[in-house]
Amino acid sequence: MIGSGGNAALAFIFSQSVNSIVPLHDPLHKWQHISIGHYLFPFESSGIKILAITAIVLLTWINILGAKKGGYLNNIVTAAKILGIFLLIIMGLSYHGIPTHENIHHEITPINNNIFSAVIVAMLSAFWAYDGWYCIGFVSGEIKNPKKNIPISIICGIGITMILYLLLNDAFMHVMPVAALSAIDQNDIAALDVARILSGNVGALFISILIAISTFGALNMFIFSYPRLYYRMAQEKFFPKKASYVHPRYKTPYVALIYSGIWSSVMVVSGTFDILTNMLILVEFLFFALLGWGLIKMQREGKITAKLIAYPLSPIILIVFSLGLIINTCIELPVQSIAGIFLTLSGVPVYYYYKKKNKEPGLVQNESEAYPDLG
């Protein structure tokens, strides 16, 4: 859910940015009213969804061809991503066409009497901007002095993200009233409307290209990373065995990549960007709560002997906040919550099936056969 949902959401943003440059044809428009439970509309915005799936398929194929090819692509798009963010911040904060505070004061209309509940719901998609901090753990075995460098990386990464995110939103509100930002269609991107006000269609086109490039690169990184988890799970016999297969020529987990690509494409068809990110964040905070509980449990059992900063306050705060977010989201967005939790829990019987199967005799592999090197 987390990996494939993230892939689908990024593919949506990429496709939406391309749609702002070259309007995409909607070949299944006549079927857009067809729904699943009057909630999911698989044929809605079909042109955007088709391009999103095409991007997932293309990047899956590139990563099957080799890790280096995928890595080169990430290096190219990083500079474009940083350039786009800084340009929007500088141009937005230096814009004087609209008095920011006046617009914020007069345009906001309360939609929920419970301020805590309203803020949490509004921030579900915003939390996704900070997603990925835990991904550094995927490569912890390849980092020098991980006890020192991983905390530094997480703190610096989240700190920089917070500063850029706050500056970017402040820049947006300098340019557009809050009501106008909230009224933007789900298939449009706020940054493009802001860029169009700042520098006309040329600016919007430039930002569209930068967003398309950066999201394409971010999607590539996700597609590169998560299948390696499925690959490892298959090695540990908690996932279908075929996911541990390595391509004989390219030395990549090609079956895990294909699995990921198929499920990500299904997620694209099933929803919109907001639906996907809301489900994704709900599920992630469920696991964050379990992470905090697991840390306390392992510390009490003596499995963790290292000194932990702000222990036990930090994991308790994580657990309480995560549970609060989960409960509030289930109350305010029950359908999305049920869908996200259902998709997550669907993996529980799979886990116990393989756990039971692993207890059967004769399943031990040769070490060199079980852990081939990836390219």
**What pTM, to 2 d.p., does this model score?**
0.72
Beta bridge partners of residue 40, listed in sequence order: 36
Cβ pair 3, 256 in contact under 8 A: no
Q: Work out how many domains the chain is built from and give that number.
A: 1
User: Does 297 reside within a domain?
Assistant: no
Q: How far is CA 133 from CA 13, 124, 130, 161, 290, in A?
A: 20, 16, 7, 10, 16
User: Does 121 reside within a domain?
Assistant: yes
Instruction: Using alpha carbons, select from 274, 275, 234, 278 the residue that is nearest to residue 257.
Output: 234
Domain CATH number, residue 88: 1.20.1740.10
User: Does 331 reside within a domain?
Assistant: no
By three-state DSSP, how is residue 343 classified?
A: helix
Per-residue model confidence as pLDDT tens digits over 199-241 = 888 878 887 888 788 788 888 888 887 888 888 888 888 888 8
When pLDDT is cut at 50, 70 and 90, the band that residue 1 belongs to is low
Res. 71: pLDDT tops 60: no
Res. 362: pLDDT tops 60: no
Res. 57: pLDDT tops 90: yes
Mean pLDDT of 140-150: 77
User: Does 349 reside within a domain?
Assistant: no
How far apart (Å, rounded) are the C-alpha atoms in residues 311 and 308?
6
Cβ pair 168, 160 in contact under 8 A: no
User: Does 301 reside within a domain?
Assistant: no
Q: How many helices (H) and strands (E) in the chain?
A: 15, 0
More confident residue, 128 or 142: 128
Cβ pair 9, 276 in contact under 8 A: yes
Residue 87: which domain range? 2-270+361-370
User: Does 248 reside within a domain?
Assistant: yes
Res. 198: pLDDT tops 50: yes
Q: What integer pLDDT is reported at residue 251 of this predicted model?
A: 82
